[in-house]
Amino acid sequence: MKILVTGVGGQVGHAVVSGAPAHVELVACTRADVDIADERAVSGCVRLHKPAVIVNAAAYTAVDRAETEPELARRINADGPLYLAQAAGEVGARLVHISTDFVFDGTSSVPYRPDAAARPLNVYGVTKKAGEDAVLGALPEHSVILRTAWVYAASGRNFLGTMLRHLRSTGAVRVVADQIGTPTAARSVAEAIWQIIEKPAISGRHHWTDAGVASWYDLAVAIAEEAAQLGLLSASATVTPIATEEYPSAARRPAYSVLDTRSLTSLGFLPVHWRTRLRSVLERSSMRRLLVTGGAGFIGANFVHYWLKEHSADRLVVLDALTYAGNLASLDAVRAHPALRFVQGNICDTPLIEQLLREERIDTIVHFAAESHVDRSIQTPDVFYRNEHRRHSLDAQSGAQGLARGARARWTSLSPRLDG
């Protein structure tokens, strides 16, 4: 089954890609690959790949900025989903579209059912509601609207990252205590999406979050406590509760946005309590993600063996072209290690480098790859210099420069203007 996922640069999109079952053929699209607000680009992409299912995780999620950029928010959150639904209909694909608790006004005192009246308080919510309606209008029998709430992940711009950053820098934060919802890990949403994909009879609007209820203050306290236990924060970090009025923002937020998930739990979906999932995400956030070039060479392979022995919780992606010094047998003892991924490729392959940096969310590059035909240079130095030096020097330079360009693009993408 071929699955096309948009917005893979965002939290949910990345989690969907990371959690993909082995049997699916995945087409992962960032905004650079396909701008969902471009009707022709969407149609072309879908016609090219002809997926069985499209997962739309792309969205304009800058809630406060949307108040001053309503047209841009509308194009991405309303027009984009419509184009995807129309394109899905043309190729007979199913569409799973991610939406939000912000379609509700927060006046309820009980969890919102999927069929509850939607009365959004801000531009973001209005445009997301419009996107829902557009999808269901264009593809009523073969679309799923999956609303979720308070999403966070180990990386990217979200409440978890903001709390960790401020608690590390100042040791104290003041957090709203009178807005109630359910913190939800992006991984939890992704798991629900894959279950929906496996159940083609599911259609219409549904809700999914982690289990339990909390205020933003409760979540901040839990972050501080759990992070301190993992050694990510000082135990002396303090969290002070405040009222919404003490933290003014451009966009109004619903005071209560707990979602009723029974339409899916009745089908066997099992939620995890938000604090349990938070602990898991924080444990993963302490994991480093390394790209090791030339990792099958003599020095690189020794580094890989050492690192996996000393830092088994970290993720290692080894890239090696397996030419001359590279020998896959040098990694035989660790090939089955769950933290290791081997990719045969060249450091001069810039698209591959950028893909690995994006997909694996690499935070460190260890660069061993190099042109190293030492024996040949000794045997025929004049011929080697004339025939090889310029070509290999340029390759090495372009490879190193490609790594640097890819790294720059990766770091820049961590602060995107638009999510996905």
Torsion sign (Cα): 416, 27, 407, 398: negative
Q: How far is CA 408 from CA 90, 95, 203, 354, 391, in A?
A: 38, 33, 41, 10, 25
**Token pair 């698209």: residue:** 351
Q: Is 109 helix (H, G, I), strand (E, B) or coil?
A: coil
Per DSSP bridges, beta strands 143-148 and 94-100 are parallel
- Give the pair of three-digit tokens for residue 297: 């060479």
Measured between alpha carbons, how far is 36 from 76 in angstroms, rounded to an integer? Answer: 7
Angle at 325 between CA 323 and CA 331, to 5 degrees: 95
Measured between alpha carbons, how far is 359 from 130 in angstroms, rounded to an integer? Answer: 30
- Supply the angle between the helices 80-91 and 123-138 in degrees, to the nearest 10: 20
Measured between alpha carbons, how far is 295 from 320 in angstroms, rounded to an integer? Answer: 6
Beta bridge partners of 94: 53
Q: Is 324 a catalytic residue?
A: no
- Indicate which residue of 124, 152, 217, 256 is catalytic: 124
The dihedral over CA atoms of 102, 106, 108, 112, expressed in degrees to the nearest 10, equals: 10
Q: Nearest CA to 60 among 130, 143, 113, 107?
A: 130
Phi-psi region of 185 (alpha: psi -120 to 50; beta: other; left: phi over 0): beta
> Which amino acid makes up residue 368?
F
Q: Among all residues, which ones are annotated catalytic?
A: 124
